[in-house]
Amino acid sequence: MRENKLLSIKTNGSSELGYLHFFEENKDIPFEIKRIYYTCDVPLEKKRGMHAHKKLKQVLWCPYGEIEVVLDDGKEKTSFLLDSPQKALIIVKGYWRELYWKVEKSVLCVAASQYYDENDYIRDYKEFLEYVEEGYWQDEN
């Protein structure tokens, strides 16, 4: 089954002391983490993403600011708002994504299931639709 979902990240702390947020591979998120990356200082008028991954699974979170993630399975688009350090979005393979920075200086963090491999990217929307049509991701996660 292919399923993207928002998770609530475990949190420890108080308004007096501040908050600590954490998650663990294979416990809080359903895969092993091979790579972490983060994106900052994106101008509000720009969008990022505009690609899908053949195999990569990811968890995205926004420790500061507000970022909209639009996921497209080739038929339907779903929007997720990362507007709290407690929210994380699991993205399974095979979704076209577009990312919009809603607040200046927002920071996007990503933990990914694979090392960087440009061959895993589908950066052409027409090609993405061909993968969908041929059922490349059917019954997978």
Quickly count helices (H) and strands (E) in the chain. 1, 12
Residue 129 CB, shortest distance to ligand T46, in Å, is 18
Distances (CA, A) of 85 to 3, 4, 28: 22, 18, 15
Other CB atoms closer than 10 Å to residue 105's CB: what's the count? 10
> How many residues make contact with ligand T46 (CB under 6 A)?
10
CB of 41 to ligand T46, least distance (A): 12
Query: Using CB atoms within 10 A of its CB, is residue 37 exposed (0-12), middle (13-18) or buried (19+)?
Result: exposed
Stretch that binds ligand T46, among 6-14, 18-26, 34-42, 128-136 (CB under 6 A): 34-42
Binding pattern for the stretch 80-109 against ligand T46, x by CB under 6 A and - elsewhere? -----------------x-x----------
Under the binding rule (CB under 6 A), the answer on residue 54 touching ligand T46 is no
Residues labelled catalytic? 51
